[in-house]
Amino acid sequence: MKEKLIDLFEYTYHFNHEMIKIISENISKIDEKTISLINHTLNAQQVWNSRILGEKSFEVWQINHFENLQDINHQNFQKSIQIVEKSDFDRRIEYQNSKGAKFENSIFEMLFQAINHSTYHRGQINSLLKQTGIEPVLTDYIFYKR
């Protein structure tokens, strides 16, 4: 299980990196929604990692300095791998969402949410890139594995 989750976080890291890169290369054509979504994608992974580790987290919709996004992506990746390598996936964690509601989920569920959530938003970003005339990044997992 650990190896599969590490693979999925490597995939997430790789395509977050590629998204940041294509946005950077086309920054003059990029709208606020795209900037908001790439930030949210990274922020959400940081939030899930922080919930698991009991650390201070970002706001889910905060806008970070664009030049820091690659570093945030890298830090997220390192923290996620640390969690995968050291955690009992069945352990349940209590946390509050961004609206203050209380929930409890297993570490596995939280990790899978972080992966799935980023895939969803990369799809949205690709749609916005295409609407702007920018060639979308092929982010399907199977392309990554080929």
Binding-site members are 40, 117, 121
Question: Which amino acids are annotated as binding site for a divalent metal cation, given as ranges?
Answer: 40, 117, 121
> In Å, how far are 40, 66, 67, 129, 134 from 29, measured between CA atoms?
19, 15, 17, 9, 9
For residue 50, what are the contacts with CB-CB under 8 A and spacing of at least 6? 56, 57, 58
∠ Cα 47 96 2 (to 5°): 50
